[in-house]
């Protein structure tokens, strides 16, 4: 069993909270194929975060996922979902992989929720998020055919550590 503590990550320097992403998924999606939303060319705004917090960019050793929340904007029940994975990768990569996962949540089927708090992964994304831009993918796995279209909002952020 792997146990880790956020305190083992070092001294927190600053948060990197990104603007929410809004998107829609159509009803009638199959439970046999993952449904992927892909957003390319998202600016990292790394230097803006560094300057806003008066931090020293050279002190940053890690950038870790901090929080994510997936919201049904129209208040619809999300019980048809099986799992959700959020991944980031370089823009020139065709598809993000499971190794690029920043947030996840499984065991969602039949849970009557309109908001899903996602669990952060443990991978260090410093190399990617100190660059210029990245690609984000939200991967939905359905437990049943989606009964209706849903308007989504993804809120998410990272934390830089010394």
Domain assignment of residue 1, yes or no: no
- The order of strands in the sheet holding 12-25 is 12-25, 150-161, 62-72, 115-120, 101-105, 81-89, 133-142, 35-43
Residue 146 CA to its chain's centroid (Å): 22
Domain assignment of residue 12, yes or no: no
Domain assignment of residue 72, yes or no: yes
Range of the domain at 38: 24-161
Domain assignment of residue 31, yes or no: yes
Domain assignment of residue 9, yes or no: no
What does pTM read for this prediction? 0.89
Give me the average pLDDT of each 10-residue run along the chain (162 residues).
57 95 90 92 96 92 96 86 94 91 89 87 95 95 88 96 94
- For residue 96, the domain's CATH number is 2.60.120
């Amino acid at each position: 069993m792997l146990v880790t503590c956020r305190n083992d990550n070092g001294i927190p320097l600053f948060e990197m909270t990104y603007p929410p992403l809004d998107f829609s998924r159509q009803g009638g999606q199959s439970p046999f194929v993952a449904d992927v939303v892909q957003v390319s060319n998202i600016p990292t705004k790394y230097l803006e975060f560094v300057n806003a917090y008066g931090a020293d960019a050279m002190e940053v050793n890690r950038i870790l996922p901090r929080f994510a929340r997936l919201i049904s904007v129209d208040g619809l029940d999300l019980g048809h979902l099986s799992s959700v994975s959020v991944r980031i990768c370089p823009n020139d990569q065709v598809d993000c992989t499971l190794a690029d996962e920043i947030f996840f949540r499984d065991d969602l089927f039949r849970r009557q929720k309109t908001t899903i708090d996602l669990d952060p992964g443990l991978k260090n994304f410093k190399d990617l998020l100190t660059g210029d831009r990245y690609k984000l993918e939200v991967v939905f796995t359905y437990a049943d055919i989606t009964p209706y279209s849903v308007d989504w909002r993804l809120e998410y952020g990272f934390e830089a550590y010394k």
